[in-house]
Amino acid sequence: MDKVESRFHLVHLSAKRAREINGYFAQLGEGMGAFVPPLLTTDTNKPLSIALEEIAQRKIEVAQEVAVPAEGPLTVVEDAGGDEPA
């Protein structure tokens, strides 16, 4: 828990990474290389356990997302042209 901000972030990050690891194992024979392989060697072959170990060893970092303000139906848009509506 000391590696991430909250339990929600830990669950979200580990689930996302576990899906990537699972995709990597699924496409191994195809030679596509679309997924990042596990970043450490471990005794387990469960994607979620591997993901949690990667987070614990700081192999995976949380990227901070920039919040974009949502435009609602009442958002005022100013005209850049300077023309007044007729």
Domain ranges of the chain: 7-56
Global pTM reads 0.63
| CB neighbour list of residue 19: distance below 8 Å, 6 or more residues apart | 47
Compute the Cα dihedral for 65, 67, 71, 72 and give only its sign.
positive
More confident residue, 65 or 4: 4
Token pair recorded at residue 20: 């990537």
Q: How far apart are CA 74 and CA 54, in angstroms?
A: 45
Confidence class for position 15, pLDDT limits 50, 70, 90: very high
Terminal Cα-to-Cα distance of the chain (whole angstroms): 60
